[in-house]
Amino acid sequence: MNLHILVGNITTINHIDILVNSANKSLLRGGGVCGSIHKAGGSSIEDECKTKYPNGIKETQVVITTAGNLNAKYLIHVVPPKFNLVDNAEDMLRECYKNIFKVAKELNCNSICLPFIGAGISSYPNDIAGKIAVEEINKWDIDDVVIVLYKEVDKKYFKI
32 within 8 A of 149, measured Cβ to Cβ = no
Sign of CA dihedral 155, 136, 132, 65: positive
145 within 8 A of 17, measured Cβ to Cβ = no
**Domains, the chain:** 2-157 (3.40.220.10)
In tens, the pLDDT along 44-80 reads 999 999 999 999 999 999 999 999 999 999 999 999 9
Cross-strand pairs, 144? 2, 111
| pLDDT < 70 regions, the chain | 160
User: What is the structure's pLDDT at 107?
Assistant: 96
- What secondary structure does DSSP assign to 7-20, as a single string? ES-GGG--SEEEEE
User: What is the structure's pLDDT at 62?
Assistant: 97
The Cα-based distances of 35 to 27, 28, 41 in angstroms read 10, 8, 10
User: What is the structure's pLDDT at 120?
Assistant: 79
User: What is the structure's pLDDT at 160?
Assistant: 62
User: What is the structure's pLDDT at 1?
Assistant: 85
**Which ranges constitute the DSSP H helices of 22-125?**
32-41, 43-52, 89-106
Q: What angle do CA 127, 128, 129 make, to 5 degrees?
A: 95
3 state SS for 69-98: CCCEEEEEEECCCCHHHCCCHHHHHHHHHH
What letters, b where the CB count within 10 A reaches 16 and e where it falls short, cover 135-160?
ebbeebebebbbbbbbeeebeebbee
